[in-house]
Structure 1
């Protein structure tokens, strides 16, 4: 487990502290990624007011258990910091959030290799 936190049920919690990076770090503004974050026993919410990132797009499934963010690394990180997690009503037990990262500079939307750098 990377980072275990104990949370109160039926409360909103930010996802601050989760960051996507690049090597070298100075290309974050132009490097495109897609991140999917999924919860098993809770929901993920995106704020109604969003920051000014032109390249960000997001989708949320109907159950709100998964959210997908696409854009530059800088914008995706800002979006992740804006996400809110809430455990399912009266849920008691372990929960894990899964984060899947796709490098859009190497893979296309169907995860086929388009460039091997």
Structure 2
């Protein structure tokens, strides 16, 4: 087994001002991040969030063991439809504010866990 260097991992480098920095690129708005890539999305608030925003993790052969959901400046409960969708898909999830979700994703990824995160932007 060969250990990956942190430079080889798709880490969340920064967040704020309505977007994120990943792989030295600025991404405006919300984003779905997983070890194999990141996917900008049009959702900026929980009201905008739909089950379809999670479609990339459903199509992957190696589904995450946990999805972190960053709900913005503060932790908020997920809409019932999103909760039910993740539960029906048998995917574990944890909700937290976006900053905590970004940091937790990075730590879990460095621990070589199968993790993904959906992050809503903060200003």
TM-score, normalised to structure 2's length? Answer: 0.30
Structure with higher helix content: 2
TM-score, normalised to structure 1's length? Answer: 0.31
The higher-RCO structure (CA 8 Å, 6+ apart) is 1
Which is higher, the Rg of structure 1 or of structure 2?
A: 1
